[in-house]
A and B are shown apart, each in its own frame.
Chain A
Amino acid sequence: AQRVTQPEKLLSVFKGAPVELKCNYSYSGSPELFWYVQYSRQRLQLLLRHISRESIKGFTADLNKGETSFHLKKPFAQEEDSAMYYCALLGSSASKIIFGSGTRLSIRP
């Protein structure tokens, strides 16, 4: 079964602290994974995708096939990082993207 699991519904950290949002997936084959973000009063939008291997707004995510994980990390959290974050997996049909249940990240000043 194709599935994305985000075990934390809410993650609260202090400004300047490291952030790690967890994501695990279930997929047979080579997965293609994404992180989407929704800031307050804004549309859901792509943050990064693993094939791009880029850092966006200081965030990075590394695909670990052994642990079937794609955790999102940032060394120093900023208040503007507060948002809802969704991990997503490209389905085998390639027509659809399967989203996790989301993690709300709250950065405390």
Chain B
Amino acid sequence: SQTIHQWPATLVQPVGSPLSLECTVEGTSNPNLYWYRQAAGRGLQLLFYSIGIDQISSEVPQNLSASRPQDRQFILSSKKLLLSDSGFYLCAWNPGMGDTQYFGPGTRLTVL
């Protein structure tokens, strides 16, 4: 069966520090991969999605970037964190266009 993992589960980082959040999917190949941010009172915001290796689409201009170095690995990064980057980051996958999305457990990021 397919599973999706995210780490770390929680992270506290100072302003200006770099960020790397990792997401991996097991049990499937060539999934669509997504990064969302779930900010308090603001719902679920799509940040990036990828339909293949090195194919990344950015949804909103921001301080973050994403990479997909392997088929089932999706990384969310930042060179310098801002206070506004605090939030709950969710990774998701689906097997194809229009299919149900399956979400990871999320990473709680606090920038101080």
Contact = CB atoms under 8 A, between A and B. Distances in A.
A98 B36 CA distance: 11
B74 interface: no
Given A101-B42, A101-B43, A102-B44, A46 B100 contact: yes
Nearest to A34: B100
A92 B90 CA distance: 22
A86 B44 contact: yes
Interface residues of A, number: 22
Interface residues of B, number: 24
Given A45-B102, A86-B43, A95-B49, 20 more contacts: A32-B98, A36-B101, A43-B103, A43-B105, A44-B44, A44-B92, A44-B103, A49-B100, A93-B97, A94-B98, A95-B57, A96-B34, A96-B57, A97-B46, A99-B43, A99-B46, A100-B43, A100-B44, A101-B44, A102-B44
B24 interface: no
The secondary-structure label for the interface of chain B is strand
B86 interface: no
A45 B43 contact: no
A67 to B, nearest CB: 22
Contacts of A100: 43-44
A87 to B, nearest CB: 10
A5 B60 CA distance: 18
Nearest to B97: A94
A34 B97 CA distance: 14
Interface of B: 32, 34, 36, 41-46, 49, 51, 57, 59, 90, 92, 97-98, 100-106
Nearest to B45: A99
Given A95-B97, A99-B43, A44 B51 contact: no
